[in-house]
Amino acid sequence: MPAGPRRSDFPPRADPIAGKLCPPTMSMRPLDEMPDEVCRSIRTLFTDIDDTITTGGKIPPEAYSAVAAAREAGIAVVLVTGRPGGWCDHLARMWPVSAVVGENGALAFSCEDGRMRRIRAPREPGAAAKLALIREEVLREVPGCAVSADQAYREYDLAIDFREEVPPLPDEAIGRIVAVFSRHGATAKVSSIHVNGWFGDFDKLSMCRRACAELLGGALEPDRAVYLGDSPNDVPMFRAFPLSIGVANVREWVHRMECLPAFVTRAAGGQGFAEAVDRLLRAGRPPG
């Protein structure tokens, strides 16, 4: 089978946001500019959940319908999230998706025909005790933040809420939360609502590769996949996927991102997600 169109096939274009160009050619282009043949070549849709499929914390009907429509059209949908393992169990069982990668790549679940399959990253010894120490320091040093409400359902990481159930904290406070994790040697990632920190050698991209190989039955093909996201914790995925797409609210975070998505939707959140799926499906699907 011939390879699909590659990023280098696109003509060079002036980048709208100076200094943020993802080499080699483009970032933040209107999604309507994605050529039909590229849309038709997509086999897998990887997507963030919070503020990418959701709008204001809820899934709009058109976003959920878009997940189902993509699957019905033969596109494997893989949810990729910082949300807890407990949530991922539910998502994998009940949503029309092929797999769920959770806790920023610590685990991946898939449930097809009633058969649940799970893969997990190796656990780092002593991680729980070190995270408990970080938790106390963050709460002491950054007034206004809180341990996330979904912490009880997490297996690997510590999530600090800076604007899901607490009044939004300024950028400077988010930076101080990250700094506490960093000085203890933990990895820390900023989503649109939480700072997630963990010990252990895992990330979203490496778990997506494992999920493809071990749960979906084939290697991850970045040129035949899209990744949708909205915030700084999506940057490694925007970098890894030539056909990355940001929903419109990604513009709020560009000051904290070293790499921007190749394309951007007109609509924000779940409506942006639905717009992206519609763009892919409008091009038609290849036979077979």
Which residue has the closest beta carbon to Mg ion? Answer: 50
* 241 in Cβ contact with 225 (< 8 Å): yes
Q: Cβ 50 to Mg ion, closest distance in Å?
A: 4
Closest CA to 264 of 251, 278, 284, 246: 246
User: Closest approach of Cβ 6 to Mg ion, in Å?
Assistant: 27
- CB of residue 83 vs Mg ion: minimum separation in angstroms? 10
Judged by beta carbon, residue 41 or residue 249, the one nearer Mg ion is 249
- Minimum CB distance to Mg ion smaller for 39 or for 250: 250
The CB-of-36 to Mg ion minimum distance in angstroms stands at 28
Integer Cα distance of 240 and 252 in angstroms: 21
CB of 284 to Mg ion, least distance (A): 29
- Identity of the residue, 50 or 89, whose beta carbon is nearer to Mg ion in the bound complex: 50
Contacts of 117 by beta carbon, 8 Å cutoff, 6+ apart: 109, 110, 111, 214, 215
Closest CA to 96 of 117, 66, 59: 66
Residues 106 and 85: beta-carbon distance below 8 Å: yes
Could you list the residues that contact Mg ion (CB under 5 A)? Answer: 48, 50-51, 192, 230-231
Quote the least distance from Cβ 264 to Mg ion, whole Å: 14
User: What is the closest distance, in whole angstroms, from the C-beta atom of residue 10 to Mg ion in the complex?
Assistant: 26
State which amino acid sits at residue 153: Y
β-pair type (158-161, 194-198): antiparallel
Tell me the two tokens of residue 65. 């319908």
Q: 192 or 265, CB closer to Mg ion? A: 192
How far is it, in rounded angstroms, from Cα 56 to Cα 188? Answer: 24
In this structure, what token pair is assigned to residue 90?
């539910």
DSSP 209-272: HHHIIIIISS---GGGEEEEE-SGGGHHHHHH-TTEEE-GGGGGGGGG-SS--SEE-SS-HHHH
Strand 76-80 vs strand 44-47: parallel, antiparallel, or unpaired? parallel
